[in-house]
Amino acid sequence: MRTAFCIINTDSDLNRPDTQLKTDTVQAQEIRKGLRQGEFKAFLQPKFDLNSNALLSVEVLARWKHPDHGLLAPAVFIPTMFRENLLDDLLHNLLQQGLAHQIVLHDKGHRFGFAFNLSLSQLSNTNFLEKLISRLEKHPLPLASVTFEITEDGPTIADEVCIKSVIRLRQLGVRLSLDDYGTGQSSLFRLCQLPFDEIKLAGEFTRQILSSSKHRSIARTTVMLARELGIQLVVEGIETEEQRCCLSEMGVRIGQGYYCARPMPFESLLAGLTSRNNNFAA
């Protein structure tokens, strides 16, 4: 089912996570406790058809419902998680929640793909990979509906272990997306090395697309590159109608950004899908 949706502005705290809290005030012990107690929640941000406004899929993003500080954005806790090697625990947590949400939506007739963020450095860990594959194999829905967005945090040339890990994931049937394309030095190398199904053009280009001819040229070239490679293109960071129109005229079909929907808890997504007007909190 393809569901059209629109914007609702809201002052809900759930849509305004606290990014002012200093990262050095969040201790690893506190994060570990939060993981154990289920304080990290999967928020969902739609990807939509720029022409029809149909909701096509969602990206799963982390928010921390801190007992003292309220809802915290990733910028507050991800640096500490990275330093303390806790990103694997976070991904497994989000995967468990996200796949469960996908099943609920599927049973209600909403067959959306779900995307999760995954770094190449995580794929260098064979124990992590085995645990990840074990969880995916238990998912009752086709794994082609699951995408991993690969982040640019690894070496310029992916090592043999990473490449083998990626191949194993592809053999399961999951999709792979090159996240934040255009911001990492190794983006073009990644496209040559690994079997991506999708490119996500970074929001930095969208933000400058109306004022900079260079940014427009790069976006237009990326559209042609994706078409030439036969892979899907998603453009991030769409915040205005003017940006949407500009990208649509270039041939971009799929977009993501605050223009249509902010990351939201599953309950808000479900309520929007089942409401008469298919409205989503933005």
Task: Name the token pair of 255.
Answer: 């977009």
Q: Check residue 1 and give its pLDDT.
A: 41
Number of Cβ within a 10 Å radius of residue 149: 20
Q: Which domains, ranges and CATH numbers included, belong to the chain?
A: 3-281 (3.20.20.450)
Using the predicted structure, report yes or no on whether residue 257 has a pLDDT greater than 50.
yes
pLDDT at position 282 over 50? no
* Residue pLDDT, tens place only, 179-237: 999 887 557 888 888 899 999 999 999 999 999 999 999 999 999 999 999 999 999 99
pLDDT at 17 (0 to 100): 57
Average pLDDT over the chain, rounded to an integer: 88
Q: pLDDT by residue (tens digit) across 117-166?
A: 998 889 889 999 999 999 999 999 999 999 999 986 655 667 888 889 99
As annotated, the active-site residues are 236
DSSP string, 48-77: EETTT-EEEEEEEEEEEEETTTEEE-HHHH
The pLDDT tens digits of the residues spanning 4-57 come to 544 433 334 444 555 455 555 678 999 999 999 999 999 999 999 999 999 999
Q: What are phi and psi of 186, to 5 degrees?
A: -105, 15
Which residues fall within 8 angstroms of residue 79, CB to CB, at 6 or more apart?
23
pTM score, two decimals? 0.90
Do the bridges between strand 198-201 and strand 3-4 make them parallel or antiparallel, or are there none, so unpaired? unpaired
Q: Is the dihedral of CA 156, 257, 48, 274 positive or negative?
A: positive
Q: Which of 274, 238, 240 is nearest to 255 (CA)?
A: 238
Nearest to 282 by CA among 44, 37, 119: 44
Contact indicator for 82, 91 with CB cutoff of 8 Å: no
What span, in angstroms and rounded, lies between the C-alpha atoms of 263 and 136? 24
| Residue 57: count of CB within 10 angstroms of its CB | 21
